[in-house]
Structure 1
């Protein structure tokens, strides 16, 4: 099932809503806003997919509720940074 939603508005802002992303989908993105879901395993799966496909120059903002574990991404990356 594909939940991709692609919107282009007048300011050339593209919005994608999908479970997984590809390098092709975000090749021209310089900023990504990622909503951290409440399900921790789903969040980790999506986050690792995101960082695996994003370029080094991409800025990623992670938003979500404190109770969902939104503060855990930096801890997840300590082995890589």
Structure 2
């Protein structure tokens, strides 16, 4: 099992904003939003992490952005970083 990811550090990309469960980076004028395994409840970030939570959040977001994107354009460009 992979270790849970609570902190995202991308070489050469300074953090733009750190949210409760997502970290944001600016790349070529666009925002890269990365979901982590951090847990938030009642606006508090808890010390424990849930493995794969970030991946599940990303998959759920992609599903809904794709679904709603059939009717209303949205900001989603990609969910994979290479």
Pairwise same-fold verdict (TM > 0.5) = no
Q: Normalising by the residue count of structure 1, what TM-score does the alignment of the two structures yield?
A: 0.29
Considering only CA atoms, is the larger Rg found in Structure 1 or Structure 2? Answer: 2
Q: TM-score w.r.t. structure 2 length?
A: 0.29
Higher relative CO (CA 8 A, sep ≥ 6), structure 1 or 2? 1
Going by fraction, where is strand more abundant, 1 or 2? 2
